[in-house]
């Protein structure tokens, strides 16, 4: 009997997760990746699952929405979560990874799976068979044109920005200090405190600094510039108002400067980029300033006067679909059910959310290939709530969304103890539902591997 086969386009977080989930369920997978023959404007490494912005996968606590999502994925046998746990770096209560080791871990796992064939070439159109399109928010122009013209997927763009990375040895630790906010977790962040006078000077320099020209991108798409709140360039955020940064990425609350025994007027935090702690990124400082302006302005931050920039911030175009008009709860197209989408192009926002959509799409592509019923995650789970949001949208125009408890089905009763207690109850219920889904051998993938025939 011929082993069923699906095709997956793109070896990012969503594509690798989808490939892994399908392969673990006995389906043969052809995974297409255009690197190293061609790179998007933001990708530089040959490895799979390359993290192009932050190295943080955010909170690891189940009373936090993305923390719950991570635990749901762990219980469903997620490759991305396995890799993240294996390559994590200290980051307080957050889960951050060494991005090089993370990519290598996933690349090695995918390359060695007996049910996965890797094909290094660009895909320009979607085939007629069972397919998962996970080419990401940086989908090539040729495939984008096919999705718009042939599949009727519409045309939406926004822009995404990455933060700079500095050499730890160049940080002045006589000024900066290690701490985590409210002393929560280990003291994993480098904190650069500012007085009001220093903040005033920095703010004025930032809002007047020169931005890089977006030469690499379609000029027409710049007329309707949209930026996800989570990746908004720091200079754009600053222009919203003098105190915007002080209530955002430069919030000083919960950080006591040991030199003076009190909170500073503003604080810039830096987070580890690798296990060795030789590289740190500026948290929340995504930017598209010119490289000389980044060097000039960011060296005004106390402690970074002589900072050596290992990578400057960059800005790149992202693309997403008007998914409520197109996709079902399994991330399959309603009018073309053999074609699935996964990743940020569906309208989920964030690394973990992208991988989570790949998990759901990969499982259900395997279901279709094997003639089994779809695995529908209930809206009490974060995986299910994300799928429901993508397939239905919210009020008004569809916009991408992070994992959050606002999209999860309510408990239906009051919980004493405030927001944290309520979220813990929501998480408890969600994980019970996930465990029920895992009770199915097919849904969990246990014992389902079929060798190539």
In this structure, is residue 80 part of a structural domain? yes
Same domain, 256 and 197: yes
Q: Is the pLDDT of residue 53 over 80?
A: no
Q: Give the end of a domain, one of 264, 297, 317.
A: 317
Mean pLDDT of 96-112: 96
Does 139 reside within a domain? Answer: yes
Measured over the CA atoms of residue 331, residue 107, residue 70 and residue 25, the dihedral's sign is: positive
How confident is the model over 235-276, as pLDDT tens digits? 999 999 999 999 999 999 999 999 899 999 999 999 998 888
Q: Show Cβ contacts of residue 140 under 8 Å, excluding neighbours closer than 6 positions.
A: 34, 38, 40, 122, 124
Q: What sign does the CA torsion over 131, 399, 65, 405 have?
A: negative
Q: What's the domain count of the chain?
A: 2
The number of residues in the chain equals 453
Domain closes at, from 265, 290, 317: 317
Which CATH number belongs to the domain containing residue 374 in this structure? 3.50.50.60
- Alpha carbon distances (Å) from 445 to 24, 76, 146, 279, 352: 6, 8, 33, 37, 20
Question: Cα 202 vs. chain centroid, distance in angstroms?
Answer: 29
Domain identity same for 144 and 286: no
Q: What count of Cα atoms within 13 Å lies in the side-chain half-sphere of residue 400?
A: 29
User: What is the pLDDT at residue 145?
Assistant: 79
Q: Containing domain of residue 26, as a range?
A: 5-154+321-443
The model's confidence at residue 44, banded by pLDDT at 50, 70 and 90, is low
In a domain, 452, yes or no: no
pLDDT at 226 over 90: no
- Domain assignment present for residue 286? The answer is yes
160 lies in some domain: no
Residue with tokens 């002045």: 172
Angle ∠(200,205,207) on CA atoms, nearest 5? 95
The answer to whether residue 229 scores a pLDDT higher than 60 is no
Query: Would residue 449 count as lying in a domain?
Result: no
The pTM (predicted TM-score) of the whole model is: 0.76
| Residue 268: alpha-carbon gap to chain centroid | 22
Residue 362 lies in a domain: yes
| Partner residues linked to 289 by β-bridges | 211
Q: Judge if 54 and 186 occupy the same domain.
A: no
Among 286, 317, 348, give the residue marking a domain's end: 317
Task: Give the tens place of pLDDT for each residue, 169-195.
Answer: 999 999 999 998 888 778 889 999 999
pLDDT number for residue 78: 97
């Amino acid at each position: 009997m011929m082993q069923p086969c699906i095709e997956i386009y793109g070896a990012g977080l969503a594509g690798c997760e989808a490939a892994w989930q399908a392969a673990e369920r006995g389906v043969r997978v052809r995974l297409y990746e255009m690197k190293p023959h061609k790179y998007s404007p933001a990708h530089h490494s040959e490895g799979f699952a390359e993290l192009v912005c932050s190295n943080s996968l955010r909170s690891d606590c189940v009373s936090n929405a993305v923390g719950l999502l991570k635990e749901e994925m762990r219980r469903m046998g997620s490759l991305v979560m396995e890799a993240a746990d294996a390559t994590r770096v200290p980051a307080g209560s957050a889960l951050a990874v060494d991005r090089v080791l993370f990519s290598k871990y996933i690349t090695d796992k995918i390359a060695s799976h007996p049910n996965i064939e890797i094909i290094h070439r660009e895909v320009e159109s979607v085939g007629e068979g069972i397919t998962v399109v996970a080419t990401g928010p940086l989908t090539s122009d040729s495939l984008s044109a096919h999705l718009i013209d042939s599949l009727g997927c519409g045309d939406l763009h926004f822009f995404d920005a990455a933060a700079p990375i500095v050499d730890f040895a160049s940080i002045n630790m006589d000024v900066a200090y290690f701490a985590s906010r409210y002393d929560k977790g280990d003291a994993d962040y480098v904190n650069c405190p500012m007085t009001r006078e220093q903040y005033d000077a920095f703010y004025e320099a930032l809002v007047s600094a020169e931005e890089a020209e977006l030469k690499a991108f379609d000029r027409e798409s710049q007329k309707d510039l949209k930026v996800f709140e989570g990746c908004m360039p720091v200079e754009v955020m600053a222009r919203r108002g003098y105190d915007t940064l002080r209530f955002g990425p430069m919030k000083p609350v919960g950080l006591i400067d040991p030199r003076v025994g009190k909170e500073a007027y503003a604080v810039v935090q830096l987070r580890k980029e690798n296990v060795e702690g030789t590289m740190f990124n500026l948290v929340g400082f995504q930017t598209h300033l010119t490289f000389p302006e980044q060097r000039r302005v960011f060296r005004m931050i106390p402690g970074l006067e002589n900072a050596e920039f290992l990578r400057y911030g960059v800005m790149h175009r992202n693309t997403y679909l008007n998914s409520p008009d197109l996709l079902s709860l399994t991330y399959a197209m309603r009018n073309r059910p053999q074609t699935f989408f996964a990743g940020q192009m569906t309208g989920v926002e964030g690394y973990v959310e992208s991988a989570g959509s790949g998990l759901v799409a990969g499982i259900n592509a395997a279901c279709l290939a094997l003639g089994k019923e779809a695995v529908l995650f209930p809206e009490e789970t974060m995986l299910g709530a994300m799928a429901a949001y993508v397939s239905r949208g919210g009020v008004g125009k569809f916009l991408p969304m992070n994992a959050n408890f606002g999209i999860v089905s309510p408990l239906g009763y009051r919980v004493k103890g405030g927001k944290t207690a309520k979220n813990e109850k929501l998480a408890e219920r969600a994980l019970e539902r996930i465990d029920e889904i895992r009770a199915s051998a097919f849904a969990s993938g246990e014992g389902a591997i079929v060798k190539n025939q």
